[in-house]
A and B are shown apart, each in its own frame.
Chain A
Amino acid sequence: MKEFKGAYMGKILRVDLTKKASRTEDLKGEDLKLLLGGRGLGAKIYYDEIGPDVDPFDERNKVIFMTGPLTGVRLPSTTKFQLATKSPETGRYLCSNCGGDFGPQLKRAGYDGLIVEGSSDDWTSIIIKDGDVSFIDASSWKGFNSDITLQRLKDSIGDARAGCMSIGPAAERLVRISFINVDNRAFGRGGAGGVLGAKRLKGIAVKGSGRVPVADPERVNQIWKEAVKDLRTSRANHTKYGTPQYIEAINEFGCMPTRNFQTTFFERIEGVDAHTMKKRYYVKNFHCFNCPVGCGMVCEVKEGPFAGARARTEYETVALLGPNCGVDDFGAIVAGNQLCDEMGIDTMSGGNLVGLTMELFERGLITKEHTDGIEAKFGSGEAMVGLLRLIAERRGIGDLLAEGARGVMKKHPEWAPYIMAVKGLPYAAYDPRGFYGNALTYGTSSRGACHNVGGWTIRAELQSGDYDRWALEGKGKLVKQIQDNRAYVDSLGICTVVRGSMDFRDHPASDVMEAVTGYGFTPDLMNIGTRIYNLERLILSREGVKRKDDQLPPRTVNEKVPSGPSKGKFLTREMYNLMLDEYYEERGWDSDGVPKEETVKRLKLHTLLS
């Protein structure tokens, strides 16, 4: 570790719930040079320690929390840390990214990462105060919602500034779309909350008294000032409207998921757009650690059937609980969002599964007998909220939906035409028929149909002027590039919203990494991202993923868009596979999507994993 003069604490904390014991391990400098930390190092530990035969709810599954070199450093939004585990939702590798105070506090306590393994006989929570690790009896917390549990954790550690994470009742019931609430941000996708539920771990609190060292404090302070100044202008719209600012735009682009992705344009968008949010529901901004932007929009319903509901709404949640369920009432979305947060389920998978249920209901494939009496029609806010509750409580059809898209598909393969998921993870809130690159994003993401890990192409496909969004050529190269950029950014420990202010682009030229770590990472950052993405693909290959698993659901490759700005646009399986061929070629993978030996060697993965 002597090559680094800052950023890393040099240790990982390993907690064994079975033995109620903990120990620390030293980080290896060579691993960090090749993988940075965060998502990269999390993937390596997953590769080394979680085999393909381990079931997500098996006590042999582990939850690996890993910060990045920038986590906790005094730079904008150095809030992020990563999770790696076997996903209950997909049954495969899961990486997830989250803000809040937990990551920075973990580093201040002296650790770059935390690995939770084994399982407890009784409900417990972990308390970490610098070098002291203890376990508290959480049996009386069973059934508490995730917000109340966060408060109990803060009370237990005795410091309101502690970083805390919790699960809600859904995870206790092993609902496979359960999230982990982290200081009111979330490890949302993939159902990691269920892994903690299976381990009978209700929450973790951490508080550190140390500081994260940096190599050149004076230069870091200068970078902080410059970045904050830039963000005041470049992210002013995030401060004003948060991510819901994109609701109108995505609809006008013709890629808004509408009524379970049946079309890509929602006719009543004004009911759920950012102006409606700001005018009628906005309460205040929510800021993560060290963030001058504050893109979180805390909203409250002041009147009507959902009066009193309060939640922090994001674009993906609004789109998937709103238009994807045909709902044009922002108040209902806030109520659905709050229910998901409290019960502890992912709003994105939740919105997809509710949209699916509404389509099945309207097609007569299920009835009120299945839905506990709910008239599950598109457009009903009450039905949307009611169905989310059925999932969280595993009641009626909710018990099946709680098994996630993969579980639904297994029991009802005849419903495949209506299930919008890749590798078991439901779609994010963009219909690929509006942007063909987004089809590859969903198909080749390391964790299923995710817009972040898979590479968000909309900016490049529309704004750059370099691409035709409805063309096939060039999309393989584009998606690879965006994925690799995201892989290294996810390993740094900063939020993607602020990365531009510190030049973490495809060809970074700033000295941020050198000022923080004292090591010359910058020229190699994109290559590190490529290495991480290939490492993840090696894991997936070991778990059985091949070309057939990179395919899209029938609706995306069989049906023309029936309305809106993308009316008449379509993809076929053949068109998609042309893009996939180009992507595999760019990646150096064979025709079945497996990294070639020369690719593995070029990226030095053979030495890293031996």
Chain B
Amino acid sequence: MKVRVTVKYLSALRDRAGTANEVFVMPAGSVLRDLTARIEKERGISLPDPYVMIVLNGKGIRQHSRRLDTGLSDGDTLLLLPPVSGG
């Protein structure tokens, strides 16, 4: 059983990744940390990075937190983008 996760690179992260979005097929039981490791290897975006924000299924993830151990599910969406600030 594999899980398919859509990764979207927004704004300047698209420039760094060289693509707008892609699908990663991960082994069953994979966690978010496994996916970010693949992104680092294949796209050269290493984490933690204070100038990168990650959002899994609509929720922001602190890059030093245990939430990087969150299990991935088929159909998940991960956003990578620069930190947001308003006004």
Contacts and interface: CB of A to CB of B under 8 A. Distances in A.
Nearest to A565: B58
Interface stretch (A233-241, A349-357, A385-393): A233-241
Contacts of B62: 464-465
Contact of B11 (A253, A274, A451): A274
Contacts of B65: 465
Nearest to B14: A275
B18 interface: no
Given A240-B12, A465-B62, A252 B87 contact: no
Contact of A237 (B8, B55, B67, B82): B82
A246 B84 contact: yes
A459 B85 CA distance: 6
B60 A249 contact: no
B84 A462 contact: yes
Interface in B32-87: 51, 53, 55, 58-62, 65, 67, 79, 81-87
A68 to B, nearest CB: 15
A430 to B, nearest CB: 9
B58 A463 contact: no
Interface centre among A254, A500, A565 (most CB of B within 10 A): A565
Contact of B84 (A234, A249, A274): A249
Nearest to B50: A234
Contact of A468 (B14, B59, B83, B85): B59
Contacts of B58: 253-254, 469, 565-566
B48 to A, nearest CB: 12
B10 interface: yes
Contacts of A236: 12, 51
Contacts of B67: 465
A124 to B, nearest CB: 34
A452 B82 contact: no
A462 B87 contact: no
B83 A459 contact: yes
Interface string A495-506: 011001000000
Contacts of A228: none
Contacts of B61: 465
A452 B87 contact: yes
Interface residues of B, number: 23
Contacts of A252: 8, 10, 55, 79
Given A249-B84, A463-B83, A237 B11 contact: yes
Interface string A558-597: 0000000110000000000000000000000000000000
A237 B83 CA distance: 10
A175 B60 CA distance: 42
A245 interface: yes
B60 A248 contact: no
A456 interface: yes
Nearest to B63: A465
Contacts of A275: 14
- Interface of chain A, main secondary structure: helix
Contacts of B53: 462-463
Given A464-B60, A465-B60, A465-B67, A249 B87 contact: no
Interface string A451-483: 110001011001111001100000000000000
A336 to B, nearest CB: 22
Interface in B3-32: 8, 10-12, 14
Given A254-B58, A464-B60, A565-B58, A248 B84 contact: no
A486 interface: yes
A250 B62 CA distance: 19
A245 B87 contact: no
A451 B86 contact: yes
B11 A248 contact: yes
Nearest to A496: B87
B52 to A, nearest CB: 11
B86 A249 contact: no
A250 B14 CA distance: 16
A233 B58 CA distance: 26
Contacts of A246: 11, 84
B11 to A, nearest CB: 4
Given A456-B87, A463-B53, A486-B87, A245 B60 contact: no
Contact of B79 (A245, A249, A451, A459): A249
A186 to B, nearest CB: 15
B12 A237 contact: yes
B57 to A, nearest CB: 9
Contacts of B85: 456, 459, 496-497, 500
A482 to B, nearest CB: 9
Nearest to A467: B60
B62 to A, nearest CB: 4
Contacts of A233: 51
A231 B62 CA distance: 23
Nearest to A234: B51
Closest 6 CB pairs of A and B: A456-B86, A465-B62, A496-B87, A462-B60, A245-B11, A248-B10
18 contacts: A236-B12, A245-B11, A246-B11, A248-B10, A248-B81, A249-B81, A252-B79, A275-B14, A451-B87, A452-B86, A458-B86, A463-B53, A463-B84, A464-B60, A464-B62, A465-B61, A468-B59, A566-B58
Interface of B: 8, 10-12, 14, 51, 53, 55, 58-62, 65, 67, 79, 81-87
Interface of A: 233-234, 236-237, 240-241, 245-246, 248-249, 252-254, 274-275, 451-452, 456, 458-459, 462-465, 468-469, 486, 496-497, 500, 565-566
